[in-house]
């Protein structure tokens, strides 16, 4: 989502105004029970492209002539009209997000802290491709939004894991509480994440361009679901490359204090919660000072209560027998030696391991971003170690890309994947690098069928779909908003506006 971080504003001399309207509530779903697990991607079974690190691109010098508010540089490009906004009527700097979609542009004022005024509400403006204002609506808090150039749906992953979807008129379609999905809760439980904030486990979410499917990235699993929360498929990311999974035949290790607590209640491992409650009741009826004449009744009853508190304070799964658990060890610290020693005149073989072990939550490669392709026929999932997986519509891993670092955001449109690599935009497709687009700082990418629009700060570039430059425009101040009109591209700063003729639309 960090692609969409420029400042955009409302209002323009040619755009009509619209009255803010409240939104109707949408139906909330929490998801069905679903599967408790999902298959893990095997990197050895899919092709992997290692994308080399490149030197940082040099910053492009400003080319704005002295005294000019805008300057265009492109084949046959001209600025047909230029005007200054009346004082106080320029674009609102609180509109910090923008997305192109099939019929126009979404401009969003996100739910965020606004200086001394406290938390501000959210507003969405929709501008048609002809430059007219389609609708302006006040919404609930919007936090982490996404939209597809080929679609008509705007989605938002809220502060507490609520995935909301809106149509092109910013009317709610459906919402989903991702933290209540059973597959998310099961994965958190399996990784022993305890009472961690559920939303911290939801790393990203997206909605297909037609709004018919949701994509939820939770911890190290990606799930494709219906709007009702029914799972269509799920995949688990492989563990990070510097860790080894060691399968062990060892039985589940039960801490000694739990075994002793069970013994006090007259039980042994394994035990169910119902058995524990029944045993405590039986022991209390025998040893409670009101019914027992034994001089040690007080001491014994105190031990029973203490044991019960110990047992009821642990995960119920720890009281049950289960399959052997894997160990995760650091490759650099792991070694294994086979030695033989003589015991009572006989040679005995021993296997000695040296390793640094961690829990699965540490070895797991947590997701950072998940996205549908523009046409919804593929899925992309990026991990914290810089691995990007391309997945089919049916949940079959197709391709892996090993990046030099994890991207700051990405989106796919018209068969090309555009990744924010901090100092440039990496263009991938068909299992290879198609190009690199020079950019720096905070920048926005809008891919279209026949060109790409990129801008950061006071410069906007039009490029071919593979990243070759077509032309650019420089503004005197930060560009707040860009959108197409019948006359050309409207480019707006806080104080000035122009119509640029020549770039593809």
DSSP result, 381-441? EEETTSEEEEEETTS-EEEEEE-SS--S-EEEETTEEEEE-SSEEEEEETTEEEEEEE--S
Write out pLDDT tens, residues 459-495: 888 988 887 889 999 998 888 889 999 999 999 998 9
**Using alpha carbons only, what angle is made at residue 408 by residues 406 and 413, rounded to the nearest 5 degrees?**
100
Question: Which range in 41-55, 182-196, 247-261, 412-426 is most confidently predicted, on average pLDDT?
Answer: 41-55
Lowest mean pLDDT, pick from 49-58, 140-149, 201-210, 251-260: 251-260
Q: How far apart are CA 416 and CA 378, in angstroms?
A: 12
Lowest mean pLDDT, pick from 401-405, 435-439, 451-455: 435-439
Helix (H, G, I), strand (E, B), or coil: what is residue 105?
A: strand
Q: How far apart are CA 121 and CA 103, in angstroms?
A: 25
- pLDDT at position 59 is 59
- Check pLDDT > 50 for residue 22: no
Residue 61's pLDDT band, with cuts at 50, 70 and 90, is low
Q: How far apart are CA 233 and CA 221, in angstroms?
A: 11
- Check pLDDT > 80 for residue 146: yes
Q: How far apart are CA 479 and CA 456, in angstroms?
A: 8
Q: How far apart are CA 400 and CA 409, in angstroms?
A: 17
**What residue has token string 């906007």?**
460
Sequential DSSP letters for 323-350: PPPPEEEEGGG-EEEEEEEEETTEEEEE
Query: Would you state the structure tokens that stand for residue 274, as one six-digit string?
Result: 């119902």
Q: How far apart are CA 68 and CA 235, in angstroms?
A: 54
- Domains annotated for the chain, with CATH where assigned, are 28-238+364-501 (2.130.10.10), 251-323 (1.10.287.110), 324-359 (no CATH)
DSSP 8-state class, residue 183: H
Beta bridge partners of residue 384, listed in sequence order:
none
Q: Which residue has the higher pLDDT, 177 or 247?
A: 177
- Check pLDDT > 50 for residue 6: no
- pLDDT at position 354 is 64
Torsion of CA 369, 161, 159, 191, to 10 degrees: -70
Average pLDDT value over all residues in the chain: 80
Residue 57's pLDDT band, with cuts at 50, 70 and 90, is low
The stretch 416-424 carries a mean pLDDT of 84
- Check pLDDT > 80 for residue 111: no
- pLDDT at position 165 is 93
**For residue 252, how many other CB atoms are within 10 A of its CB?**
15
What is the pairing mode between strands 397-402 and 48-50? parallel
CB 216 within 8 A of CB 225: yes
Q: What share of the chain is helix, strand, coil (3-state, %, to 5)?
A: 15, 40, 45
Q: Which residue has the higher pLDDT, 3 or 390?
A: 390
Q: Which residue has the higher pLDDT, 375 or 92?
A: 375
Q: What is the reported pTM?
A: 0.74
- Check pLDDT > 70 for residue 154: yes
- pLDDT at position 325 is 62
């Amino acid at each position: 989502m960090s692609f969409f971080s420029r400042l955009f504003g409302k209002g323009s001399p040619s755009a009509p105004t619209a009255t803010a309207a409240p939104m109707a509530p949408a139906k909330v779903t929490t998801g069905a029970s679903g599967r408790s697990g999902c298959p893990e991607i095997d990197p050895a079974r899919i092709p992997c492209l290692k994308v080399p690190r490149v030197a940082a691109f040099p910053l492009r010098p400003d080319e704005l002539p002295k005294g000019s508010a805008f300057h265009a540089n492109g084949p046959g490009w001209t600025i047909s009209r230029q005007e200054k906004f009346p004082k106080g009527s320029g674009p609102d700097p609180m509109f910090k997000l923008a997305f192109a979609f099939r019929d126009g542009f979404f401009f969003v004022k996100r739910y965020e802290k606004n200086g001394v005024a406290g938390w501000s509400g959210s507003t969405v403006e929709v501008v048609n491709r002809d430059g007219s204002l389609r609708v302006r609506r006040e919404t609930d808090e919007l936090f982490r939004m996404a939209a597809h150039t080929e679609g008509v749906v705007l989605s938002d992953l809220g502060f507490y894991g609520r995935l909301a979807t809106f149509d092109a008129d910013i009317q709610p379609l459906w919402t989903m509480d991702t933290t209540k999905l059973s597959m998310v809760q099961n994965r958190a439980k399996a990784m022993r994440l305890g009472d961690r904030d559920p939303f911290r486990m939801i790393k990203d979410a997206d909605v297909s361009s037609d709004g018919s499917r949701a994509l939820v990235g939770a911890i190290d699993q990606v799930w494709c679901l219906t709007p009702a929360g029914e799972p269509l498929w799920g995949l688990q990311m492989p563990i990070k490359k510097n860790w080894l999974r060691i399968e062990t035949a060892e039985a589940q290790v039960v801490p000694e204090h739990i075994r002793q607590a069970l013994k006090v209640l007259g039980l042994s491992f394994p035990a169910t919660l119902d058995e524990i409650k029944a045993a405590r009741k039986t022991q209390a009826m025998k040893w409670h000072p009101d019914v027992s004449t034994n001089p040690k009744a007080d001491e014994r009853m105190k031990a029973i209560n203490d044991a019960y508190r110990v047992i009821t304070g642990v995960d119920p799964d720890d009281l049950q027998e289960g399959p052997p658990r894997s160990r995760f060890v650091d490759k650099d610290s792991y070694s294994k030696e086979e030695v033989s020693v003589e015991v009572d005149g006989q040679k005995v073989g021993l296997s000695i391991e040296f390793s640094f072990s961690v829990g699965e939550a540490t070895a797991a490669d947590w997701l950072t971003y998940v996205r549908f392709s523009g046409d919804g026929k593929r899925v992309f999932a990026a991990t914290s170690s810089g691995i990007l997986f391309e997945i089919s519509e049916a949940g079959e891993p197709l391709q892996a890309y090993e990046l030099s670092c994890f991207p700051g955001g990405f989106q796919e449109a018209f068969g090309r994947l555009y990744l924010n690599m901090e100092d440039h935009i990496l263009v991938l497709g068909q299992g290879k690098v198609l190009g690199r687009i020079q950019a720096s700082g905070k920048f926005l990418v809008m891919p279209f069928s026949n060109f790409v629009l990129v801008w950061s700060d006071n410069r906007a570039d039009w490029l071919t779909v593979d990243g070759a430059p077509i032309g650019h425009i420089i503004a005197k101040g930060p560009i707040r908003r860009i959108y197409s009109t019948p006359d050309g591209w409207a480019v707006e700063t806080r104080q000035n506006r122009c119509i640029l003729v020549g770039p593809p639309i």
